[in-house]
Structure 1
Amino acid sequence: MIEWLAFWLDDGYNPDTIYLALANIVLGISLTHAYRHVIRRWNWVRLPFFRLAPRVLLSVLVLASIMTFVNLPFDRTLYPELFINEPVVLFGYLMSWGKTMFAWVLSYTAYHYVERTRDAEIEKLLLKTSIRETEAKVLRSQMNPHFIFNALNSIRALVYEDPTKAQQGITQLSNILRNSLLADRRKTVELREEIKTVEDYLALEKIRYEDRLNAHIDLDTRTLYWQVPPMMLQTLVENAIKHGVQKAVGGGFVEVTSWLEADAKDHDLLHIRIRNTGVLGDKEASDGFGLKNTAQRLDLLYGSPASFHIVQEKEDIVCAEIVIPSQSDTIFRKNDTKNITSQAA
């Protein structure tokens, strides 16, 4: 290019030189546009690096050769003194145009390769988030149908014996079903709302088990407005009655307590403990609906900060404990998902 400029100035603005420069600009734009078409048409940016690199180098060679063999006839006519040693000149042309084309092709390909890799990562994150959200919705919406049948049978038995209590039972069952339907639309609810569902559930089970079921709920007032997964405690209490109180000859108890406890970083964690009469069998520990459901939902919503453990506290008492991180951590995770979505848009 410097030689062209020197000859151009020495020749007094030779029109042929100007036309050749303009022709090179048009040809360069055309070739690079063709390269863009090829790289998009065959989705080269989706290829792994070891397959993309040879294609880029071959493209540089092809583009440099085209520019060289187009320019050579014109330059030989305009500047014959440069072509005394033609093979060396040809090699120099290829090297000169090769460097120019390599710089452009490399920068263009690298930019789109990085962009494509970034977009692919965002798509994977969005897909993973969508899958996790779908799984969470399925888990939130699940309810044991046997409970509904048993509750309806219990209420039916009260229709003639105690109509007032039967009406109350219908209201409690309606509240549980409504909350079960709403659980599909909400990720979390306040603990006090979830406990109201648990109380309605226990009241209906009390109709069935009468004195064989004793229930006690003791909550720290600081935890009442803490956000928890909907229908999670109800499912665990149902699991406790099904695998514990129901199987005990003399009946049993269910106890729900909550409190706040700081972790090593002085962040508050919500602890919820459910104790009940029962024996923790291997099948219940690995396949129990309430247990598996709870572990999956906590992992989907909070990840590693949350935990769920169940142990045999005593010979006839099972203890399950849930740990949920602070509400700010939950908001942070939601904001991360929103940021990913906005980047994809």
Structure 2
Amino acid sequence: MNFKQSYWIFQVLGWTFYTLSQFIDYLMIFNFDYQELEDLIFSSLINIMVGISLTHFFRIIFKNYNWIKLTIPQLIIRSALSVFIITSLLAAVNITLDETLIDTSKLNWLIKDLIYVVNFSKPVLIWVLIYIFYAYTNERRNDAVERIKLQASIEASEAKILRAQINPHFMFNALNSIRALILEDPSIAQKGITQLSNILRSALVADRKTTISLKEELKTIEDYLELEKIRYEERLQIKWQIEPASLSVQVPPMMLQTLVENAIKHGVQKASRWGFVEIFTQISEGFLWIKIRNTGTLRNTENTNEDGGFGLTNTQKRLKILYHNKAIFDIFQEDSLVVCAIIKIPII
């Protein structure tokens, strides 16, 4: 049942119930003959229709003139005036209808009018207060929804900007690797270009997504490491320890790729003899744990003006946007020659 249907049902039931209570009071106080009883029933039906019409007109005015945006004093004044007008009209209608049923000639006209106004002010005031309470509650709920939508839109835009920053960065590093291969061995460089095309194809697909499966991300990393393996040969040692159940978990695209690039550039590339990159994944207590270990020293990636600093800052921002405080990213010096990065992502 939607709001419109509920509104009319409560309108009809509310005014019917109130008028029925008044109808019973009249029967208990006065003795009516058959003709007068028919007139009382007709009067009651008129009351129901007039009550529904007047309060619905108040709702129209309230919505069309956007009273919900008024200050509290302004709303109180307008609502009080509306209650008085609606009550006065209901009283005027009932005074006219009751003249054929009840002898009120002995009553002072002012007292008579006040009795009718006071009696009808109660249901009208209750109706107006309930409607204003509903309107304010609904307005606050709508504002909250709009704020959430706006925040989500901002975060989505920020995530796209961060993803867009990665691709040129990655291209620069990969092309540097191929340039070195061209100088050393053109035939091997051709294989490197093929690997690069595979990586770029994956990057273009990933750029249109907020998250991808860990399996897709690891495939890109594998292509990248194969490209670097051509360049570094035995100087680069790679170790994989992947829990099969983790492959379907969604992760931000190119995030791990960026960390592996940093591991190569600031670790293996600067190692005197050889270096290594180790990648571990596992699922524990509803979270995906990813560990990347590599040769290197952390001080080389702490400056945000350098490539490594960019990668770390980017990773932290993207995790915060996507997972807020539920994700963890930490990087530390495991020993004098090994850097370890740990990512903890909630499984959604």
DSSP-derived class of the 2:149 partner: helix
Residues 207 and 119 of structure 1, relative CA distance in 2, 3 Å threshold: same
Shift of 1:26: 4.1
CA distance in 2 between counterparts of 1:52 and 1:114 reads 15
Structure-2 residue corresponding to 1:260: 282
1:227-242 superposed matches below 5 A: 227=249, 228-242=251-265
CA distance in 1 between counterparts of 2:235 and 2:184 reads 21
| Contact in 1 for aligned 2:174/2:196 (Cα 8 Å) | yes
| Contact in 1 for aligned 2:277/2:293 (Cα 8 Å) | yes
Structure-2 residue corresponding to 1:219: 241
CA distance in 2 between counterparts of 1:10 and 1:81 reads 18
Query: TM-score w.r.t. structure 2 length?
Result: 0.75
CA distance in 2 between counterparts of 1:225 and 1:219 reads 12
Shift of 1:220: 3.1
CA distance in 1 between counterparts of 2:165 and 2:303 reads 20
Q: Deviations over 1:65-99 (max 9, x none)?
A: 23224444554576343652444333321221111
- 1:9 matched to 2:29? The reply is no
CA distance in 2 between counterparts of 1:271 and 1:64 reads 70
- 1:110 matched to 2:133? The reply is yes
- The two structures, once aligned, show a CA RMSD in angstroms of 3.7
Structure-1 residue corresponding to 2:303: 283
Shift of 1:10: 3.9
1:38-77 superposed matches below 5 A: 38-45=61-68, 52=75, 55-72=78-95, 75=98
Q: Deviations over 1:97-128 (max 9, x none)?
A: 11121232233333343333333333333333
Corresponding letter in the other structure for 2:298: V
Residues 154 and 11 of structure 1, relative CA distance in 2, 3 Å threshold: closer
Structure-2 residue corresponding to 1:305: 326
Q: Deviations over 1:293-327 (max 9, x none)?
A: 2222223333433210112333454321111233x
Q: Give 1:194's match in structure 2, choosing from 212, 217, 230.
A: 217
CA distance in 1 between counterparts of 2:37 and 2:44 reads 11
Query: TM-score w.r.t. structure 1 length?
Result: 0.75
Question: Identity percentage over the alignment?
Answer: 43
CA distance in 1 between counterparts of 2:152 and 2:169 reads 32
| Contact in 1 for aligned 2:243/2:282 (Cα 8 Å) | no
DSSP-derived class of the 1:323 partner: strand
Structure-2 residue corresponding to 1:138: 161
Corresponding letter in the other structure for 1:225: L
Quick check: 148-157 or 180-189, which moved more? 148-157
Structure-2 residue corresponding to 1:270: 289
| Contact in 2 for aligned 1:8/1:17 (Cα 8 Å) | no
Any stretches of 5+ residues in structure 1 without a counterpart?
331-345
DSSP-derived class of the 1:56 partner: helix
Aligned residues: 322
Corresponding letter in the other structure for 1:283: N
Structure-2 residue corresponding to 1:341: none
| Contact in 2 for aligned 1:261/1:269 (Cα 8 Å) | yes
- 1:176 matched to 2:195? The reply is no
DSSP-derived class of the 1:322 partner: strand
Work out which structure has the larger RCO, using CA pairs closer than 8 Å and 6 or more positions apart in sequence: 1
DSSP-derived class of the 1:310 partner: strand
